[in-house]
Structure 1
Amino acid sequence: MGAFSKNLILGIEGGATKTRWILCEKENESLVSITEGVLGPGSLRLLSLEELRHLLSVMPADASRVGVFLAGCATERDREVLREVADSVWPHATVRVGSDRESGFAAAFQDHDGIAVIAGTGSAVTGRAGGIEDRAGGWGHLLGDSGGGYDIAINALRRILYDYDTAREITPLAAETLQLLGINTLAELTVWAQAAHKSDLARITPVVFRHAEEFSVARILRRGAAALARLAGSVARRLEFHSPVVRLQGGVFTGQPIYRDLFEQEFRKAWPTADIDVCTTPGSMGSVYLAAGHMPDPVRVQTVAESEVAQAVTEQPNPRSADLGLLPTRKLVELFATEERAVEEAVRHCVPELAIAVDLLTASLQAGGRLFYIGAGTSGRLGLLDASEMPPTFGVEPELVQGVLAGGVAAVMRSSESAEDSREAGALALRDRGVRDSDVVCGITASGRTPYVLGALAEARRLGAGTIFLTCNPRRDRAVGHADVEIDLPTGPEIITGSTRLKAGTATKVALNILSTCVMVRLGRVDGNSMSCLKPTNEKLRRRAAQIVADCAKIDFEQALDLLSCTNWDIREAILRTKSHISP
């Protein structure tokens, strides 16, 4: 068919044990399989970039569309790496990349709703309803993979050693496992297991099923199936399914009927009318569906058009700094100092909205809710900073005010601004934190257009939580409301165009200071203007606490120190004792 055909679509799904690929031809609206194959492990976590490139290079080269969906492709950075490798192998094709759970879901449902439960070497649950996606499991063998082949195998090995330790018994399961691996003693087995990869351990799984009648083995299998059923049930509840359609995938389900029955028995306890069946369509075909564009992106990324970004006030050039590099040092510093005056005016301009936000937050926290700041880049770091200052300053629990930063904790010290482009990632971050209708989510974005923040606010509203939107762009599109309270600080163009860590960052910090501090005052965490709930965790703070007690109780500094040492450094208790004439 020549070196390149616009009608050929290649789908690839790689896991810890094997990689399947299928080449299809598009005829009108149908996809017809031409050829397919199976290769070795294709997990992004197992292969070097060179090994991955070699694996992909032996597949058909003449497709115009290619879908590569591999286990271990979990982050935006993983996608970038996988795309670079795939683009180098198929430079003229349209390439789509992602994780094997996405191709698995596409194989089971295409563009319909349902829940896909994978039990292969690892395990994962993916559900979708009305455009909303939810996930459970899939954390990898160290922290997750409950009910997958690796999990079953490792629990079986533990049982083998336990039986030997307690009864000096080599069980039939132990004997067959040693024979399979060509190992002579249990001591050698432990050495092998510590060095083996999870796919090597999963080889034991069929042996475990052959001994399913043994009591201890049956218990392991029931526990694994029950764990997967609970994960699937959690997804079904969060997506509000009444009678979920569940499709079982992966070698453990497809190869072991007893495991399918155990899962179904457990899942039907909560969902008796569920439609449960094994998915017979291979995940590689799901990769074809995705590559062909028959489904929307499984990770819904919304980027802002360059023309829209350019319209943001924070992206406009500042005429006062056009010749920045030509200014003498003193003039340069004076310019920065002068520009900071805009921060005060911007905050003063938004006093009415800030007051409404304080009342919203106060009511929520008084009713047992929590405050979540969420943002990316500088905005997210400022939210994280304000949240971290609440426990030591006002004596509240760390869970009361939480900061959520795109890219996670690693993005605090290392730039990870690419993480801000995914709306779904923002929504997922709130779901992972367990945000509920009694909470308030404050989205922070200087431009007012960061997809990560907009996705989080949309999810917060769906969950019924209160919402606050804090931006530095009064020109943003207001046709669609994003929050209950919207605060737009008019800081104007930055001295260095687009560098929102400058005036926008300062104004955002001030606004967050106002929000959190006023709320703490309303919650009674301040007496007069004293930090009476301060946590004195070092010498400086202990002296500050003593000064507060001395000033409030009208006693000398040394007496205040003695009193605090008797009250476990509880400032309010110390003051109360002086007012109640209680002896230290």
Structure 2
Amino acid sequence: RIGVFLAGCATEEDRAALLKLARAVWPKANIVAGSDRDSGMAACLRDRDGIAVNAGTGSSVTGRSGCRIENAGGWGHILGDAGGAYFVSIRALRSILREYDLRRGEREFAANILRALGLNNFDELVRWAQTADKMEIASLAPVVFEAARKSDEAARQIIAAGVSALVDFTTAVSMRLQLETPEVRLMGGLFENQKFYRVAFAKALSEKIPGANVALSESPPEVGAAWLAADERLQIAKTAEPAGAVSLVSSTEEANPRSANLDRLSAREIVELFVAEEKLVDEGLRQCIDQLARAIELSAGAIGKGGRMFYVGAGTSGRLGVLDAAEIPPTFGASPDLFQGIIAGGAPALQRSIEGAEDDAHAGALAMDERGVKSEDLVIGISASGRAAFVIGALRRAREIGAQTILLTCNAKREPGGEFDLEINLKTGPEIVTGSTRLKAGTATKIALNIISTGAMTRLGRVRGNLMIDLQPTNKKLRERAVGLVSQLARCDRESARSRLERADWNLREALNEE
């Protein structure tokens, strides 16, 4: 058995990638993979409840109570890692440069930094800092602690800020886990090598959590990794389908007999085949007219009561959701937060495939929490197969929150599960290129989303006749469209319409309401 635990390995996608690499090296081994938080917790507490506080190059706080895990910090040196060696060192560098800019002071603290780096002046220090990595910058921490021991006030303030951040994180984790007298174990180079830091942390924490039992960890993270690898109770980390997922092959993954000789067709024959296959998109949509109408009603109802719309998808499905959401503000004058698109893997997945992103049910659920989904909202999960773990995880979490949910799929073999408020199954059949759901399934999905969002906004009064009266005329083309719209609705010539719009600062409703 082998344990591999690396910094930044936080998601199922990360674990799957790490397992793949490890199995290439040790093909016959049982491998447990995870983050350095996991091995740190094991080193500090084994399987006991408590809190592990890490202050090394970076920092993190991880707590456990039963099966529940809570984290704080550990966001990396750019966004966080408060209380770690990088935090201490970069603040010291900024402090001495600020002092130099304000007072041109010759301070012992600054001289010690230059000496430690073998530099002669501040210009050299700036050039060094611009190319140094986080480990090199973090290596200055001992100089800061030495200055603090010599009563340098700036150094003491920096260390106090680090202690305060770690104490705040630890207190927050303790409160979330409802640990009144937690076992708190300290790890990482700063705590191990700087007694001053350990003592300051323990003293400050005792003021926030009087019953906390604070001590240095007896084992390094490597021992924690070995303990996790040796624990037979642990399942090997792997990517799995969410519970209840259908194991049958999706109809979108079946071979299309009508395109079996695709590679031998002429250009014209390829076009004819594509056009002929599009009739299945029309048929799939017609079979779901009632469900699509219900989706419009649910969407309009949610928005009318102050809720928002969330599209959740992976790959092509996610991109289509983001696209439809992005078009709502300019088309209907709605706030950008009214329709929101969430794609597995985040913004990078809009332009390239993110391996394993759709298989992470936890990430889907977490997205619902982090994006602030509420009970009055409506979440539409988009998955051609109806099985994408990211989507199912998001929908299940949305239901737990109390939001209404819709699952939009294109899998003829999927049976309705009754788990969500509405299921729309656009049965478009096998793709011309086997499994390429960007084709018919993608087309049908795009049309369905157009129907739902346009129908909802129309029901909410954002369309008059067939004209978008809340259009945002942000460019020349849209301004000309706005002129034509006002001219038609106000029964005036285009010049008069333009004048009305200019007086209304190009607000269509105001221009139309002008006496």
2:61–2:71: 8 Å Cα contact kept in structure 1? Answer: yes
**Retained in 2: the 8 A contact 1:406–1:452?**
yes
**Are 2:331 and 1:389 aligned?**
no
Partner of 2:97: 161
* 1:235-250 correspondence to structure 2 within 5 Å: 241=178, 243=180, 245=182, 246-250=184-188
Of 109, 117, 120, the residue aligned with 1:181 is: 117
Would the aligned equivalents of 1:106 and 1:286 in 2 still touch at CA under 8 Å? yes
CA distance in 1: counterparts of 2:398 and 2:4, whole angstroms: 32
Q: Which moved more, 1:552-561 or 1:89-98?
A: 89-98
Root-mean-square deviation (CA, aligned residues, Å) is: 3.3
Q: Give 1:443 deviation, angstroms.
A: 1.5
Shift of 1:202: 1.6
**Corresponding residue of 2:296:** 358
The answer as to whether partners of 2:12 and 2:359 remain within 8 angstroms in 1 is no
Question: What residue number does 2:82 align with?
Answer: 146
For 2:5, the equivalent position in structure 1 comes to 69
Q: Give the direction of change, closer, same or farther, for the CA distance of 1:298–1:200 in structure 2 (3 Å limit).
A: farther
**Contact 1:474 1:490 (C-alpha < 8 Å) held by counterparts:** yes
Give the conservation status (yes or no) of the 8 Å contact 2:242–2:361. no
Instruction: Describe the superposition over 1:469-515 as per-residue Cα deviations: whole angstroms up to 9, x where unpaired.
Output: 22122533655x54333322222333333222222212211221122
Letter in 2 for 1:502: L
Give me the whole-angstrom Cα distance separating, in 2, the residues matched to 1:334 and 1:303. 38
Partner of 1:483: 420
Q: 1:530 aligns with which of 451, 467, 488?
A: 467
- Report the TM-score, using the length of structure 2 for normalisation: 0.87
**Is the CA contact (8 Å cut-off) linking 1:163 and 1:170 kept in structure 2?**
no
1:119 corresponds, among 52, 55, 73, to 55
Shift of 1:326: 5.0
- Give yes or no for the alignment of 1:284 onto 2:222: yes
Structure 2 CA distance for aligned equivalents of residues 319 and 415 of structure 1? 28
For the residues of structure 2 that align with 1:339 and 1:240, how far apart are their CA atoms?
55
Whole-angstrom CA distance in 2 between matches of 1:298 and 1:128: 20
Q: Distance in 2 between matches of 1:359 and 1:115?
A: 48
2:509 is aligned with 1:572: yes
Identity %: 50
Q: Does the CA contact (< 8 Å) of 1:123 and 1:147 recur in 2?
A: yes
Q: Structure 2 vs 1, CA of residues 353 and 101 (structure 1 numbering), >3 Å: closer, same or farther? A: same
Q: Could you tell me which of 359, 365, 368 is aligned with 2:306?
A: 368
2:315 to 354, 377, 393: 377
Once the 2 structures are TM-superposed, how far is the Cα of residue 564 of structure 1 from its aligned partner? 1.3
Shift of 1:94: 3.2
- Which residue of the partner structure matches residue 464 of structure 1? 402
Letter in 2 for 1:511: A
Change (3 A) 1:561 1:79: same
Report the secondary structure of 2:381's partner residue.
strand
Q: Which of 372, 384, 404 is matched with 1:434 structurally?
A: 372
How big is each residue's C-alpha offset from its partner over 1:47-98, in whole Å with a ceiling of 9 and x where there is no partner? xxxxxxxxxxxxxxxxxx2222223546777657655654555454333444
Q: Secondary structure of 1:118's partner? A: strand
DSSP-derived class of the 1:534 partner? coil
* Worse overlay, 445-454 or 69-78: 69-78
Contact 2:91 2:158 in 1 (8 A): yes
The equivalent residue for 2:494 is 557
Amino acid at match of 1:500: T
Distance 1:484 1:276 in 2: 49
Change in 2 beyond 3 A, CA 1:533/1:544: same
Displacement after TM superposition at 1:378 (Å) = 0.8
Counterpart in 1 of 2:478? 541
Q: What letter matches 1:345 in structure 2?
A: E
How far 1:330 moved relative to its partner?
4.8
Q: Is 2:435 the counterpart of 1:495?
A: no
CA spacing shift, 1:150–1:311, aligned 2, 3 Å:
same
Q: Using CA pairs under 8 Å that are at least 6 residues apart, name the structure with larger relative contact order, 1 or 2.
A: 2
Instruction: Give SS of 2:356's match.
Output: helix
CA distance in 1, matches of 2:206, 2:290: 53
CA contact (8 A) 1:243 1:275 kept: no
Letter in 2 for 1:101: R
| Counterpart amino acid of residue 97 in structure 2 | L
Shift of 1:518: 2.1
Is the alpha carbon distance of 1:512 and 1:293 closer, same or farther for their aligned partners in structure 2, counting shifts above 3 Å?
farther
Q: Label 1:308 to 1:468 Cα distance change in 2 as closer, same or farther (>3 A).
A: closer
For 1:178 and 1:169, the matched residues in 2 are separated by 14
Letter in 2 for 1:520: M
Q: 1:98-113 counterparts in 2 under 5 A?
A: 98-111=34-47
Distance 1:472 1:547, change over 3 A: same
From 122, 137, 149, the counterpart of 1:201: 137
Determine the C-alpha separation between the residues in 1 that align with 2:231 and 2:260: 46
Is the Cα–Cα contact under 8 Å of residues 32 and 237 in structure 2 kept in the other structure?
Answer: no
Aligned partner of 1:95 in structure 2 is 31
Q: Bigger shift: 427-436 or 369-378? A: 427-436
Contact 2:11 2:363 in 1 (8 A): no
Partners of 2:213 and 2:306 in 1: how far apart?
39
SS at match of 1:492: coil
Which whole-Å CA distance do the structure 1 matches of 2:423 and 2:64 have between them?
Answer: 30
- Structure 2, unaligned runs of 5 or more: none
Cα deviation digits, residues 226-270 of structure 1 (max 9, x gap): 333444555566x56464845443222344455446556666777
1:398 to 332, 336, 344: 336
Task: Indicate conservation of the 8 Å contact 2:63/2:177, yes or no.
Answer: no
Worse-superposed segment, 531-540 or 456-465: 456-465
Q: Distance in 2 between matches of 1:537 and 1:482?
A: 42
Partners of 1:574 and 1:367 in 2: CA distance: 28
Query: In the alignment, is the contact (CA less than 8 A) between 2:32 and 2:236 conserved in 1?
Result: no
For the Cα contact (< 8 Å) 2:381–2:408, is it kept in 1? yes
User: CA–CA distance in 2 between the matches of 1:344 and 1:272?
Assistant: 68
Q: Which residue of 1 aligns with 2:250?
A: 312
Q: What TM-score do the two structures reach when normalised by structure 1?
A: 0.77
Say which is worse superposed, 435-444 or 105-114, in terms of deviation. Answer: 105-114
